[in-house]
Amino acid sequence: MTNTDIDRLHGLMALMTGDEKHSPAATSTLDALWVLYDRVLRVAPETVADPGRDRFLLSKGHGPMAYYAVLADKGFFAQELLTGFGSYDSPLGHHPDRTLVPGAEIGSGSLGHGLPLAVGSALGLRAQGLTEPRVWVLIGDAELDEGSNHEAIAYAGPAGLEQLHTLVIDNGSATYGWPGGIASRFEAAGWSAATVDGRDHDALYTAFTAPHPGRPRAVVARVEPKNA
C-alpha cells in the first residue's frame, strides 16, 4: 500500500459518520483487507456471481467500515453510498447484509459464525467439484472465545480443507490464550499457520500466498492493541 492508497482509504472511511462506528475494529483490519482485495482475491464487481470466484467472508462484521471502504474503492458499489452509512435507508448497515451490499458473501456481526460458515462453503465447493475457488474468512482474536470456532478449527484440519483460509486479526482482545500464540491453536489441529505484522503488506502477501497442500491455512495478523 502506498501513502496515496492509505490517504484514499482513510478518506473513504472518513465519509462514514454517526454512532456505533466501531472504529478500532475497522481500522485494525484495513491493511489486511487491502492486501487481500488488491493482490490476492480472485473476485471483482463483474464476477460476484461467478461460481469460480474466490469467496471472502467478514466474520468480524461489527466493524465493517474498512470493508466498505475497500469494496467502494474496488468498484463494488458507488463511493457516494458511504456517506449514508448506518442510516435507515442505506444498504450499508452497522453489520453487512449480503442481500444489500454487492460483494458481501454473508450477513455477519454475531461473533463465532463466520469460520463455521467458511468451513461449510469450502465443503460445498468440494462437493461441486469446484477446486479452484478459495474461501477466505476474517475473524477477530476475541472470536476465539466462542466454542463454535474451535469446533470448526478441529474439523477443518483433519478434513484437509485446502481451499479454506482464515485471517485472524489479533489486537489483544481475546480473553484466553495459548502457549505459543494463536497460530499454535490452528497448528495443533493440523492447519498450516503463520504469524505476521498486520501492517506489513509484503509480509501479509507472502503469508497469504504461501503453499499449504492438503491443509487449511491460518494467518494471524498482529496489530496494535485495541486500547492503545
What pLDDT is recorded for position 225? 87
> Quick one: DSSP state of residue 136?
E
What pLDDT is recorded for position 112? 87
Find the mean pLDDT for residues 13-42. 84
* Burial tier of 90 (Cβ tally within 10 Å: 0-12, 13-18, 19+): middle
Amino acid (1-letter code) at residue 13: M
Of the candidates 181, 199, 196, which has an alpha carbon nearest to the alpha carbon of residue 66?
199
* Burial tier of 80 (Cβ tally within 10 Å: 0-12, 13-18, 19+): exposed
Residue at grid coordinates 474503492? 73
Helix (H) or strand (E) run with residue 194 in it = strand 192-197
Of the candidates 43, 153, 60, which has an alpha carbon nearest to the alpha carbon of residue 106?
60
What pLDDT is recorded for position 98? 95
- Could you give the strand order of the β-sheet that contains 55-58, starting from the edge strand earlier in sequence? 55-58, 135-140, 164-170, 217-222, 192-197
Is 90 exceeded by the pLDDT of residue 172? no
What pLDDT is recorded for position 2? 58
Per the CB < 8 A criterion, the answer to whether 126 and 135 are in contact is no
Contacts of 80 (CB under 8 A, 6+ apart): none
pTM equals 0.93
What pLDDT is recorded for position 199? 93
What pLDDT is recorded for position 62? 81
Q: Pseudo-torsion of CA 53, 57, 63, 68, nearest 10°?
A: 10
Residue 20: what are its φ and ψ, rounded to 5°? 55, 45
In this structure, of 21-35, 47-61, 148-162, the range with the lowest mean pLDDT score is: 21-35
Is 70 exceeded by the pLDDT of residue 1? no
Find the mean pLDDT for residues 150-173. 96
Is 80 exceeded by the pLDDT of residue 18? no
Q: What three-state secondary structure class fits 18?
A: coil
Q: What three-state secondary structure class fits 84?
A: helix
What pLDDT is recorded for position 21? 52
